[in-house]
Every structure is written in structure tokens, then in C-alpha cells.
Amino acid sequence: MATVSHNRMGNKYIEQTVHVKNPYLDTMEEDILYHFSLGTKTHNLPDMFGEIKFVCVGGSATRMKAFAQFIHLELNLPGNAEELEDICKGTDRYCMYKVGPVLSISHGMGVPSISIMLHELIKLLHHAQCCDVVLFRLGTSGGVGLAPGTVVVTEKAVDYSFLPQFEQVILGKVITRSTELDEGVAQDLLQCSSELQNLPTVLGNTMCTHDFYEGQGRQDGAVCSFSQEEKLEYLQKAYEAGVRNIEMESTVFAAMCRMCDLKASVICVTLLDRFEGDQITTPHDVLVEYQQRPQVLVAHFIKKRLGLIA
């Protein structure tokens, strides 16, 4: 939903509120966000979350805590970054940290896990009356024809057949939803990457799969039913369709944000080049540094948007 508002300079602009697409929500006396351990009756959500402008999500709870601490320092906020409280400590499904206008949340691995988190997150932003929110997925991925450590800003989130769509089964029927992401945010992120040192970044399509092993054409799982030639042929087709990395959440993330009028972007670092192999052999400290790259990029974007840097 869009409302006309005024910025600090007194200029008119359209304020974008978070638009849930569920007519039944309004009829509910209370909404319990079960996997967050939050609710509309037990918590004052506008008070707790109303100022949120940026939401960063990623698979690992440790990474999203580290990001919360990092962005706390980057935004120069008062208080101790080491003492941030997990808002979802009443449950061990997801972790959530609020750092000024930034929310950092973990989503686990795969479409079902992030999809549950996104339903509750989008309702949370709606109940909290947040507006002009941008969402980012800060993830890891397998690269397709890229040097390990490259950051991929997703142009199109595509499925196993390289189409920009997400298939959701509802009442036994397959419904197809568009996975279009915000072009402006992706371009701004690319611009940010050009202003930073040692942050190799490309724009490319991201393939989302429902599995890490056979689903991504890996031959090192407990089960494998295809040859090396078949694997390389599929990766080559993916490359020709513009796919530059493979992960496991981007299509549902893009589809749900789009349906609820939320600007969204996917930023994943590649941990290996899938043309070179399947196993992740890179040393732990290098992997930790790689995982920081999307965080550094998005922190720069946030600081620019907040007017903290030119």
C-alpha cells in the first residue's frame, strides 16, 4: 500500500507500507508468530520494530549474529555490540537481532525453512507498521564459472529449469509465482561494490534448488544417479542461461517479497567453482572471510542510504 508522505527536506514522496496478501489476517483477534516467539497481544510490535528499514537474512544463526555486531559498529550506535539480545530467544528455530533500523535474522537451510520465516517476518513488518523496507539475503553459494570468493548480486532468481519462477503447491495444485527482484537495489549494490576494495562482484542469475547434493548436480552425496559428463552438461546449460551461482532459497525469497511489495535483493558469495568440483575444501578462515563479503557490501549500501557516507 502506498501513502503520500514528506521527507526531511519537505518534499513529497510515496511511502511504501508492507502489504500482506491475506484477507483473513484482519479478522484475527491475535496473531501469534509462533516460530519467532512473538505475538500481537504479547508484544508491542510497532514499538519494537516500527523503525526498521533494512532486513538482512541468511542461513546461519552465527553469521546473522556476527552481522548484527558488525552493523552495530558500522553504524556507530550506542551500547555494546557484544551484548545484543536475541529477540527470538524463546525459540531455537531462528535468531533475530535489532540494531537501530536494521533487523538481522537467520532462516536455516532451504525453501521450507526460509518460507516459514518469511511469512512471519512479513506479518511482523506489517503489524509493526514499517514502511520503505528493503530486504537482503546474505548467503553462500556454489559458483558457476566464477573464482571462489566472488560476490553475486542476483539479477534473476531462477529454478532448476533456469526460469524466473517459484512453484508453490497449494491445496494440491502447483501455483507458479514470479521471482522478479528489485533492479534499482541490485544496481546500487553493484555501484557500492565498485567503491570498495577486494570485493569482486558480478550481476548474474542465481539458481535455487531444493537440495545441496543431487539437486545441485553434486556427485559427492550419499546417492548419485548421473555421470560426470551429464553433470558438466547441466552446469554448462545453466551457465549459458546466465546462471552464475547456485543456492537454496532465492526463488521463494524473491517471490514472497514481490507479492508483498517489498524491495529485495540476494547477495551470495561463491565458495567454490562448481566446474572444478563438488567438495568445499577451502580452509575455515578463508570461508569466514568470504562470508563477510556480502555483509561488507550491504553495510556500505545501508550507510549510503542512511546518509552516513557519500
Ligand X SMILES: O=P(O)(O)O[C@H]1O[C@H](CO)[C@@H](O)[C@H]1O
Ligand Y SMILES: O=c1cc[nH]c(=O)[nH]1
Q: Which residues are at the interface with ligand X (CB under 6 A)?
A: 58-60, 109-110, 139-140, 212, 247-249
Q: Which residue minimizes CB distance to ligand Y? A: 142
Among 113, 216, 250, 295, binds ligand Y (CB under 6 A): 216
For residue 230, the minimal CB distance to ligand Y (Å) is 18
The stretch among 156-164, 165-173, 178-186, 245-253 that binds ligand Y (CB under 6 A) is 245-253
For residue 110, the minimal CB distance to ligand X (Å) is 6
- Of residues 128 through 157, those in contact with ligand Y by CB under 6 A are 140-142
Residue 188 interacting entry, from ligand Y, ligand X, none, C-beta within 5 to 8 Å by type: none
Residue 249 interacting entry, from ligand X, ligand Y, none, C-beta within 5 to 8 Å by type: ligand X
212 interacts with ligand Y by CB under 6 A: yes
Residue 216 interacting entry, from ligand X, ligand Y, none, C-beta within 5 to 8 Å by type: ligand Y
For residue 209, the minimal CB distance to ligand Y (Å) is 7
Cα separation of 5 and 254, whole Å? 27
- Tell me if 55 sits within 8 A of 99, measured CB to CB: no
Residue 59 interacting entry, from ligand Y, ligand X, none, C-beta within 5 to 8 Å by type: ligand X
Give per-residue burial for 68-104: e unless 16+ CB within 10 Å, then b.
bbbbbebbeeeeebeebebbbeeeebbbbbbbbbbbb
Annotate 260-295 with DSSP letters as a single string.
TT-EEEEEEEEEEETTT-SS--S-HHHHHHHHHHHH
40 versus 141: smaller Cβ distance to ligand X: 141
Output the nine-digit C-alpha cell for 49. 520494530
100 versus 142: smaller Cβ distance to ligand Y: 142
Among 248, 260, 266, 296, binds ligand Y (CB under 6 A): 248
Residue 235 interacting entry, from ligand X, ligand Y, none, C-beta within 5 to 8 Å by type: none
Contacts of 23 (CB under 8 A, 6+ apart): none
- Tell me if 120 sits within 8 A of 31, measured CB to CB: no
45 versus 117: smaller Cβ distance to ligand X: 117
Cα separation of 273 and 238, whole Å? 13
234 interacts with ligand Y by CB under 6 A: no
Residue 148 interacting entry, from ligand Y, ligand X, none, C-beta within 5 to 8 Å by type: none
Residues of the chain by 3-state class (helix, strand, coil), percent to 5: 35, 25, 40
For residue 12, the minimal CB distance to ligand X (Å) is 38
Query: Helix crossing, 61-74 with 284-305: angle to 10°?
Result: 50
Cα separation of 247 and 93, whole Å? 20
Contacts of 79 (CB under 8 A, 6+ apart): 72
114 interacts with ligand Y by CB under 6 A: no
- Tell me if 114 sits within 8 A of 252, measured CB to CB: yes
> Which residues contact ligand Y (rule: CB under 6 A)?
140-142, 212, 216, 246-248, 271
